[in-house]
């Protein structure tokens, strides 16, 4: 009988020990899951860290003037494509070349011996100074989108910019963003609508220069000229008899062949966002 009681006691101890081990294992598993969950949450928080997208460009990117719905640059429609963790600060200004945007008021009306418009001062414009401000400007993790090349093709100063100077200034902007931990993105100039019979054609310069800067600095490039021309052909904007104020073309463009109505600006902004997603750019994680 005593031996029987001993066997029962031993069996109970073994059973209880086994239960204890199982419970401990379950606790460890729960702890590990909780830890993994916390780690995942932390990664999600990091991925969703609020960022600012800065835009530098001309009228095809700029916000519309107060009380004037047209022209509306595509940058005015960009913010709506992102979630609430993104703030878009559109510093594009109509009529600017890359040089007049950078050195507003300090570009003379005469060319130097190198064929470039002379700078009367190397002081940056207030808009670029604000973006370079260590406290309130571009910070680590932000993005800088740069699109020029339309007004730069002017033959006269102050807007004229030659190919080499264009690359130099764009590289300068890229390097300034990188120095602050921001991520530059370059864009070729968006196309106007010009037709060759029933086909929309490319009509902007500084495309090769933009790609050259992208290659040299390892900066992503959105070929907005090619994307916009493909869109115009998809929408069958050609042939066109020169009437830009009515029909599908009139709904897309202002009463010219260059600037956009709000609808056109939305479609161009969508092209930019779509290419960011196609390139698997980090900013794509913030798109709606």
In a domain, 1, yes or no: no
Q: How many domains does the chain have?
A: 1
Q: What percent of the chain has pLDDT over 90?
A: 79
Note the pLDDT of residue 83. Answer: 97
Strand intervals (E) in 91-249: 107-111, 117-119, 143-147, 183-187, 195-196, 199-200, 221-222
In a domain, 26, yes or no: no
Lowest-confidence pick of 46-55, 205-214, 256-265 = 46-55
In a domain, 140, yes or no: yes
Note the pLDDT of residue 21. Answer: 38
In a domain, 74, yes or no: yes
Tens digit of pLDDT for each residue in 59-84?
Answer: 999 999 988 889 999 999 999 999 99
**What does pLDDT average to over the chain?**
87
In a domain, 254, yes or no: no
Task: Report the length, in residues, of the chain.
Answer: 288
Does the model's pTM come out above 0.85?
no
In a domain, 15, yes or no: no
Note the pLDDT of residue 199. Answer: 97
**pLDDT greater at residue 214 or residue 243:** 214
User: How confident is residue 45, by pLDDT bands cut at 50, 70 and 90?
Assistant: very low
- Report residue 40 as tokens: 């995942």
In a domain, 252, yes or no: no
Note the pLDDT of residue 32. Answer: 42
> Mind spelling out the 3-state secondary structure of 92-122?
CCCCCCHHHHHCCCCEEEEECCCCCEEECCC
In a domain, 162, yes or no: yes
CATH number at residue 105: 3.40.50.1110
Tens digit of pLDDT for each residue in 138-154?
Answer: 999 999 999 999 999 99
Tens digit of pLDDT for each residue in 169-191?
Answer: 999 999 999 999 999 999 999 99
Partners of 53 in beta bridges: 88, 143
User: Which residue range forms the structural domain that includes residue 83?
Assistant: 51-190+205-225+280-286
151 within 8 A of 95, measured Cβ to Cβ: yes
């Amino acid at each position: 009988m005593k031996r029987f009681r001993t066997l029962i006691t031993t069996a109970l101890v073994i059973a209880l020990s086994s239960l204890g081990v199982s419970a401990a294992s379950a606790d460890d598993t729960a702890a590990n899951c909780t830890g993994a969950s916390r780690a995942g949450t932390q990664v999600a928080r990091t991925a969703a860290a609020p960022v600012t997208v800065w835009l530098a460009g001309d009228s095809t990117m700029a916000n519309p003037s107060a009380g004037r719905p047209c022209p509306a640059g595509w940058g005015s429609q960009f913010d709506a494509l992102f979630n609430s963790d993104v703030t878009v600060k559109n510093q594009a200004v109509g009529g600017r070349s890359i040089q007049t945007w950078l050195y507003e008021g300090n570009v003379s009306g005469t060319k130097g011996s190198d064929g470039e418009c002379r700078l009367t001062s190397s002081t940056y414009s207030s808009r670029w100074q604000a973006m370079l401000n260590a406290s309130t400007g571009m910070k680590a993790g932000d993005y800088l989108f740069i699109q020029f090349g339309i007004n730069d093709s002017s033959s006269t100063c102050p807007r004229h910019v030659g190919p080499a100077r264009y690359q130099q200034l764009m590289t300068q902007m890229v390097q300034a963003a990188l120095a602050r931990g921001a991520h530059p993105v370059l864009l070729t100039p968006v196309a106007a609508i010009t037709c060759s019979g029933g086909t929309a054609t490319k009509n902007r310069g500084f495309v090769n220069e933009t790609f050259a800067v992208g290659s040299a600095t390892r900066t992503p490039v959105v070929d907005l000229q090619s994307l916009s021309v493909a869109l115009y052909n998809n929408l069958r904007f050609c042939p066109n008899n020169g009437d830009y104020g009515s029909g599908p073309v009139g709904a897309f463009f202002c009463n010219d062949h260059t600037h956009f109505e709000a609808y056109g600006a939305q479609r161009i902004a969508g092209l930019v966002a779509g290419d960011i997603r196609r390139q698997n750019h980090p900013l794509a994680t913030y798109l709606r």
